[in-house]
Amino acid sequence: MRRNRLGNSAVEITELSFGAAAIGNLFSAVEPAQAAAAVDAAWDEGVRHFDTAPHYGLGLSERRLGEALRARPREAYALSTKVGRVLDPLPGGGAAAAEGLSEGFAVRATHRRRWDFSAAGVRRSIEDSLERLGLDRIDIAYLHDPDDHAEAAFGEAYPELEKLRAEGLIGAIGAGMNQTAMLTRFVIDTDVDVVLCAGRYTLLDQSALSDLLPAAAARGRSVVVGGVFNSGLLADPRPGATYDYAAAPLNLLDRALRLKAVTEGHGVPLRAAALHYPLGHPAVAGVLVGTRSPDEVRDAAALLRQEIPDALWDDLRAEGLLTENGH
């Protein structure tokens, strides 16, 4: 699988990245054996970038991912995790906490998530993640959803990540968000290597073309794109499908159905076009897909291998469904 270097760093990622939120029991429980098998399937398909975060399952995703990669050559893959939320143990280990969803994850609430973009919080977060992962370094550390914490993120968290990078504990610095404005500020005002942009550069939402992608290309920064299916609508456009985790508005459902008609007219599943689309921009280093089973991993890899004819992108532009990009 093709690899791309992130910004000015020495870190390389594959064009397809394994998003490990799902194996942290996102929305529903995943059995340990299935989580391990999903990581194994990704490895067998050539995936060499794995993304996680303390937030995902109160550390469960990091622990499972670290265990699944334990026997793999450390220099052969890149691992990213995130800072900005620290996990504080609950008294008694949270034994009295009820089973259920903890901020979207089906895990027992043994810890409490606490926003912390202070320098000390960032360092603690990295040290805790290294322990859960069983590693001595992290390839990419993202500032995780700093939307409401701009002052601390730019003034404390980012400088601390620079120190950790200089110490060799992390290889590349980034920020991950569902918006483009602050990510663009990171690209322009700091020395980040990469940003993770979720849902804002897809067949349905090309808003990253207005600010983030031009800035990244001009400064030699890399972009990893998540949410390429916009939480479901581009995977299976139908009444009741979700867009950004809510019921899809009718105008977007109609647009998705029009996209599907064009792509299938070329013999290409809409999901394949959605996965390939961001990779046409020169600033995009890879796409991140959340998967919870070996079958889902193999499906994503097969979609990436599918050939997409140039005429498909031409027809999407002709229908007014696609803004100009690198295709």
Give catalytic residues, as residue numbers: 56
- Token pair belonging to 174: 């980034």
How far is the CA of 58 from the CAs of 54, 62, 90, in angstroms?
Answer: 6, 9, 12
Compute the Cα dihedral for 258, 261, 262, 264 and give only its sign: positive
Query: Are 110 and 90 contacting, i.e. CB atoms less than 8 angstroms apart?
Result: yes
In this structure, the strands spanning 242-243 and 246-247 are antiparallel
Query: Are 229 and 248 contacting, i.e. CB atoms less than 8 angstroms apart?
Result: no
Rounded Cα distance between 278 and 285, Å, is 9
DSSP calls for 125-157: HHHHHHHHHT-S-EEEEEEE--TT-HHHIIIII
Q: Is 122 exposed, middle or buried (0-12, 13-18, 19+ CB in 10 A)?
A: buried
